[in-house]
Amino acid sequence: MSAAWLRACALVMIGLFSGAALAKTPTAIVVGGGLAGLTAAYELQGKGWQVTLLEAKSGMGGRSGLATSEWIGNSKAQPTLNQYLDTFKISTQPAPEFVRTPGYLIDGEYFSSTDLATKQPATAEALKRYEKTLDDLARSIDDPQNPAANSTLFALDQLNVSTWLDKLQLPTTARQLVNQQIRTRYDEPSRLSLLYFAQQTRVYRGVSDRDLRAARLPGGSPVLAQAFVKELKTIKTSSPVSAITQDKDGVTVKVGSVGYQADYVVLAVPLRALAKIQMIPGLDNQHLAALKGTNYGWRDQLLLKFKSPVWESRARMSGEIYSNTGLGMLWIEPALKGGANVVINLSGDNARLLQAFGDKQMVDQVLIRLHAFYPQARGAFTGYEVRRYSTDANMGGAYLAYGPGQISKFWRLWERPVQRVIFAGEHTDALYPGTLEGALRSGQRAAGQVQDLAAGKSFDPAKAATVAGAAATAAAASKGNFFSNMFGGSSDKPAKAVDTSKQEESKPGLFKRMFGSDDKPAAQPEAKAADAAPAPVAASAPVSTPAVAPVAKEEAVKPAPAKAPAKQAPVKKPVAKADQAKKTAAKATAPVNKATVKAEPAKKPVANIQAKAQ
C-alpha cells in the first residue's frame, strides 16, 4: 500500500471522526430535582441536550411546602413562575379579596388591615412609619443587582436589621408584628443583613401585597414540579451525588459506586447539601467560606387538622396572618370532608429553638397556644403533619437569607460557573432568592450558561470583595448624614452596630420569647459577620430542650377555660408555667450544656446563631 494511499485513508478517518464528534449530542447532568434543577434540565433538553437528572430523594420537587393550595403572585410579582404555569397550562384560581392584604392576630384577636387602623391606631401608625422608613432605605439602592454599589450602601451590609429596628422605637405590638413578618419572609431580624433586607425591599418596590397573593395554585408547587417531570426523559431518583470530578474533557458525577459522565454538570442543590459533595478539583476559599458561612432562614411548617373550623366565631383566619404571640404566620388550608386545616409557619429563632422537640411536642406547644384563643381547638383537633426544612440534610434550611457582611463577600458568587460546573438554586438568584421565582430563574440562567460554555464563552472568575478596604471607606462614609437620616438619630455609627455580641442578652423564658409578649430574640448574632450562620445542624440544641417536654405534656391535656376572652392572657398562663418549668429544668441541665459547649469549640458559632425569620 503506498504512503499516499495510507495518508488518504487517514484523512478520511479523521474526517469521519471529527464529523461524528460534531454530530455528538451534548450531554449534561443536573444534580437536584427541585424546581431549579427541573427547570435547568427542561430548558437544556429543549435545546437538544441529553440530560440526566439525579435526585437524592425518592420523590421530586425538593422544598415544596405543606401548602396544598399555595398562594402565588401575579406576573408582576413572579413573572417566570406565571410563564411556566402558562406553558404547562396549569390553572390557578384568583385569590379572594380578603387574603390579598395581610391580617393580624394580636393577642388572639383578628384584625384586618382596615380594622387595625380603626381599633389599634397606634400600632397601625407605627407600622406605617416603619414601612415608610424602609421604603426610604430601599430607594437608596439604585440597582438591586448591585446593592453594595457604593461605600455607604456597603456599610449597610455590616449592620443587622434588628439594630435598625431598635432605632425606630416602635411600640411593642408593632415591633412584634414587624419582627414576625421579617422572620417569616427572611430570618430573624438580628441575623439579617440590613443591606439584604433593603435590597429585597427594593426588588419588591411597586409590587403590592395584592400582587404577591393574587392567586391560589391548587395542589401547590408540587403540581408545577410534576409538569416538569413529565417532560424529562431521564430522571434517576434515590441517587445522592457524593462527588464530582471535572477535567478539560468533561465531568464525572458519582452516585455510590456508579459514575455518570457528561460534558457539563448543573449543581442545583442548596449550599448545605453542596458542602457535602466532594469536588475535584476542590473549590476555592471564597466558595468554601460561602458554603460554610452563608445564612439560611429557618422556617418549619405545621399543618394542624381540625374536624371543623374552631376559629370561625372569633376571627376570619384567612390569607396570611401575622401573629404577635409567636404562632408565626398562619393561614387556612382547604380541607376535605368539612374539616379545617391551618398551616402554622414557625420561623427564625422560634423554629431554631424548637428543633430539639419531637414533632408531637412541637405540635402540642402550638396547639396549647391556639387552644388558649380558640377553646374548641383541642376537642376538634384530629391530626398534624410537620415539615422541617432546616434539619433536612438535603435542604439545610428554608432559604438563603444573607447575614451581616455576607453580601460584601459572596454577592453573585454562585452565578459564575467553575469550569464545567454551573450552579443553580434559589440561593443563586440575585433578585428573588428564597422563592419559587428565584429557583426557576436560576434554572433558566444555568441552562443558558451551559449553552454558552459549550459555544466557547468564558465567564469571569469570581471577584472577591476586598472587605477590609471597602469597610474602611464605609466607615468613613458613615460619618456623613446618611445614617443619621436612616436611623433618625444623630450619632449612629454603623461599624459599631455590627458588633452585636456585646448587646444585652436578657434572656426571657423560652415560651415568653416564643409565645409571650416579649419579642426579644433568644440571643444575638455573631459579632463578626464572617462567623455568622454556621451550619443549621449546629444550631439545633437549645439549652431548654428537656424543660419543654413535660410542660407541653402537662398543658396539652389540660382543658381550656370555657370562656377565655381573646384579648386576655390565656396564653400567658401556660407561658409563665412553661417558663418556670424551663428555668427549673435548665438549671438541672446546665452543667451538661456547659460541658458540651466547652468541649466543642467548633460549636461556638452555634451558640451565637441561637441567639438570633414569609
Binding residues for ligand FAD, rule: CB under 6 A, are 31-37, 54-57, 62-63, 65, 70, 240-241, 268-270, 273, 277, 299, 301, 389, 394-395, 398-399, 425-426, 434-439
With respect to ligand FAD, which residue has the nearer C-beta, 160 or 345? 345
With respect to ligand FAD, which residue has the nearer C-beta, 260 or 411? 260
Provide the 3-class DSSP secondary structure of residue 259. Answer: strand
With respect to ligand FAD, which residue has the nearer C-beta, 39 or 500? 39
With respect to ligand FAD, which residue has the nearer C-beta, 184 or 376? 184
With respect to ligand FAD, which residue has the nearer C-beta, 271 or 340? 271
With respect to ligand FAD, which residue has the nearer C-beta, 40 or 148? 40
Spatial contact of 402 and 295, defined as CB atoms under 8 Å apart: yes
CB of 154 to ligand FAD, least distance (A): 27
Tell me the sheet residues that pair with 71. Answer: 216
With respect to ligand FAD, which residue has the nearer C-beta, 56 or 474? 56
Closest CA to 347 of 323, 374, 315: 323
Q: How far lies 414's CA from each of 165, 271, 459, in Å? A: 30, 10, 12
Provide the 3-class DSSP secondary structure of residue 355. Answer: helix
User: Rounded to whole angstroms, how far apart are CA atoms 441 and 432?
Assistant: 8
Residue 571 identity: V
CB of 230 to ligand FAD, least distance (A): 17
With respect to ligand FAD, which residue has the nearer C-beta, 240 or 525? 240
User: Rounded to whole angstroms, how far apart are CA atoms 199 and 197?
Assistant: 5
Tell me the pairing of strands 278-280 and 296-297.
unpaired
Spatial contact of 450 and 45, defined as CB atoms under 8 Å apart: no
Tell me the sheet residues that pair with 5. Answer: none
CB of 460 to ligand FAD, least distance (A): 24
With respect to ligand FAD, which residue has the nearer C-beta, 36 or 148? 36
With respect to ligand FAD, which residue has the nearer C-beta, 256 or 559? 256
CB of 392 to ligand FAD, least distance (A): 8
Residue 409 identity: K
CB of 46 to ligand FAD, least distance (A): 18
Query: Would you state the torsion angle of the CA atoms of residues 269, 273, 278, 284, taken in this order, to the nearest 10 degrees?
Result: 80
Q: How far lies 104's CA from each of 171, 226, 410, 564, in Å? A: 15, 34, 35, 19
Q: How far is CA 457 from the centre of its chain?
A: 32
CB of 221 to ligand FAD, least distance (A): 6
With respect to ligand FAD, which residue has the nearer C-beta, 184 or 503? 184
CB of 301 to ligand FAD, least distance (A): 5
With respect to ligand FAD, which residue has the nearer C-beta, 37 or 404? 37
Q: How far lies 539's CA from each of 292, 355, 363, 567, in Å? A: 13, 8, 20, 34
Query: What's 577-597 look like in SS3?
Result: HHHHHHHHHHHHHHHHHHHHH
Scored b (16 or more CB within 10 A) or e, 136-161 reads ebbebbeebeebbebbbbbbbbbbbb
Long-range contacts for 279-288 (Cβ within 8 Å, ≥24 apart)?
Answer: 279/243, 279/244, 279/421, 280/243, 280/244, 280/245, 280/246, 281/246, 283/418, 284/462, 286/409, 286/410, 286/413, 286/462, 286/464, 287/413, 287/418, 287/462
Tell me the pairing of strands 215-218 and 27-31.
unpaired
With respect to ligand FAD, which residue has the nearer C-beta, 58 or 506? 58
CB of 541 to ligand FAD, least distance (A): 21
Burial (CB < 10 A; 0-12, 13-18, 19+), residue 81, is buried
CB of 262 to ligand FAD, least distance (A): 15
With respect to ligand FAD, which residue has the nearer C-beta, 276 or 573? 276
Phi and psi at residue 419, to the nearest 5°: 50, -105
Grid cell digits, residue 471: 469597610
CB of 114 to ligand FAD, least distance (A): 24
CB of 358 to ligand FAD, least distance (A): 19
CB of 249 to ligand FAD, least distance (A): 23
With respect to ligand FAD, which residue has the nearer C-beta, 123 or 394? 394
Query: Would you state the torsion angle of the CA atoms of residues 303, 306, 311, 312, taken in this order, to the nearest 10 degrees?
Result: 120
User: Rounded to whole angstroms, how far apart are CA atoms 276 and 393?
Assistant: 9
Provide the 3-class DSSP secondary structure of residue 135. Answer: helix
Query: Would you state the torsion angle of the CA atoms of residues 205, 207, 209, 215, taken in this order, to the nearest 10 degrees?
Result: -150
Determine the angle formed by the axes of helices 172-185 and 161-168, rounding to 10 degrees. 160
CB of 308 to ligand FAD, least distance (A): 26
CB of 443 to ligand FAD, least distance (A): 7
Closest CA to 324 of 360, 354, 369: 369
CB of 425 to ligand FAD, least distance (A): 4
Tell me the pairing of strands 329-333 and 321-323.
antiparallel
With respect to ligand FAD, which residue has the nearer C-beta, 55 or 263? 55
CB of 61 to ligand FAD, least distance (A): 7
